[in-house]
Copies of this chain bind each other. A is one copy, B any other.
Amino acid sequence: MNVTEMPTPQFNQLLSAAPDEVQKRIFPYLEETQLQLGAVVYESGAVPRYVYFPTDCIVSLLYVMEDGDSAEISVVGNEGVVGISVFMGGESTPSQAIVQSAGHAYRLQSERLKEAFNYDADMRLLMLRYTQALITQMAQTAVCNRHHSIDQQLCRWILLSLDRLPTNQLSMTQELISNMLGVRREGVTHAAGKLQDEGAIEYRRGHITVLDRPKLERLSCECYAVVKTETDRLSPQPASG
């Protein structure tokens, strides 16, 4: 896939799996957008005017605390949508959505998704099953934060990101990763150094290349597998046509 070209809406799994009738209704209103690294998709407490369906970008849901410390709650790629609070009925959420890996997404006016959600039972099921996968991810993040080492969490984080990208390379500084994991930058340096020594990854100034994915999976805690399995289970079957 040439990342400078806008992929079609089918690259987002939710849009792709949406019922035909819903596709007819909302596809005309989808707007192609390019999301820059670090862009804030929505702010904490704000009512999002648009929801975003990523195709080749990654958006992180982040909670930023009063003292500026932060922690990633979950991550959204082309398997999902940013802005579930729109159809969950709460409008806003206390978290923030920021672009973790630049790329493209389709945006849609919140109201249009809400309509489709209320109008079509299949669409609703699709969105709710995705939401449940997201819930699993948040729950597992809580567990992981409690019990696992930075090393393990870094593995989990890289793998989750990798699953949402077409390449085996992440463009991320250790500083940014540390913000996501909610740890010090030095901690990430240390963990990444170990992974490099082990030959699992290679990195240089803002770029991580995964060399040995199986090794990364072995070094990760069980949290990655749990999230992955549950996300797959709850994902729509790839459209046969």
Contact = CB atoms under 8 A, between A and B. Distances in A.
A139 B147 CA distance: 16
A80 B73 CA distance: 22
Contacts of A219: none
Contacts of A234: 89-90
Given A65-B222, A147-B65, A222-B65, A88 B142 contact: no
A121 interface: yes
Most buried by B among A74, A87, A132: A132
B138 A222 contact: no
Contact of A129 (B90, B139, B143): B90
B182 A146 contact: yes
A36 interface: no
B139 A85 contact: no
A69 interface: yes
B138 A88 contact: no
Contact of A89 (B65, B125, B134): B125
A234 B94 CA distance: 12
Interface residues of A, number: 43
A118 interface: yes
Contacts of A100: none
Contacts of A141: 142
Tally of this chain's copies: 2
Interface in A59-96: 61, 63, 65-66, 69, 71, 73-74, 85, 87-90, 93-95
A173 interface: no
Contacts of A121: 118
19 contacts: A66-B222, A71-B146, A74-B139, A87-B128, A88-B129, A88-B131, A88-B135, A89-B125, A89-B128, A89-B132, A90-B132, A90-B133, A90-B233, A90-B234, A93-B135, A94-B139, A134-B135, A135-B135, A146-B183
Interface of A: 61, 63, 65-66, 69, 71, 73-74, 85, 87-90, 93-95, 118, 121, 125, 128-129, 131-136, 138-143, 145-147, 182-183, 222, 226, 230, 233-234
